[in-house]
Amino acid sequence: MSKIRFAKSLGITSAFFFLCATPVVTSAQSSKAASMEGPKVFSPSPAKASSFPVDDFSGFDYTPEQKAEIDRIQKGTKAQMDLVAKDQKLSADQKDAMMLGYSRMEYGRMYTVLTPVQRREVQQKTRARRIADEAARKKQTPKN
């Protein structure tokens, strides 16, 4: 019985060790690769950081409440993005990741303001855009 307990605890301990050790090796390798690359230029333009087209939300008849809430969301996101763009402590990759995160949060917040009918239309636009992007990607890949 005690041998089985010992084997289980040894297995769990070794699995935990390997799980914890793996990210350290990966981050060490990525820092070496990053130091070999040239410096990346960061563009503080929030428009470039946004991966979500504004067209998904265009063409709707918004109520005054919706307009006010969307405006508030956009102003808040822009303020956060401006702070990130000015932050000297962050690397270019970190700034890009934060900008992308803020634009995703903005998209999600704006989506919650929409009515169910408007949400369905946004979903249809998004689906159509993804299909078009996939078709364009297939055209660009060379056939062997």
Residue 125: inside a domain = yes
pLDDT tens digits, one per residue of 2-60 = 666 655 554 555 444 444 444 444 444 444 444 444 333 334 444 444 445 657 888 88
pLDDT tens digits, one per residue of 74-130 = 999 999 999 999 999 999 999 999 999 999 999 999 999 999 999 999 999 989 989
Residue 64: inside a domain = yes
User: Structurally, how many domains does the chain consist of?
Assistant: 1
The span from the CA of 51 to the CA of 106, in Å, is 11
Which range of residues forms the domain containing residue 130?
A: 44-140
Is the per-residue pLDDT at 134 higher than 80?
yes
Residue 5: inside a domain = no
The span from the CA of 52 to the CA of 61, in Å, is 20
CB 78 within 8 A of CB 46: yes
Supply the pLDDT for residue 6.
Answer: 54
Residue 1: inside a domain = no
Look up the pTM and report it.
0.56
Question: Mean pLDDT for the chain?
Answer: 74
Residue 72: inside a domain = yes
Supply the pLDDT for residue 59.
Answer: 84
Supply the pLDDT for residue 57.
Answer: 82
Residue 28: inside a domain = no
**Percent helix, strand and coil across the chain, each rounded to 5?**
80, 0, 20
Supply the pLDDT for residue 143.
Answer: 64
Q: Which two tokens stand for residue 110?
A: 């704006």
Residue 75: inside a domain = yes
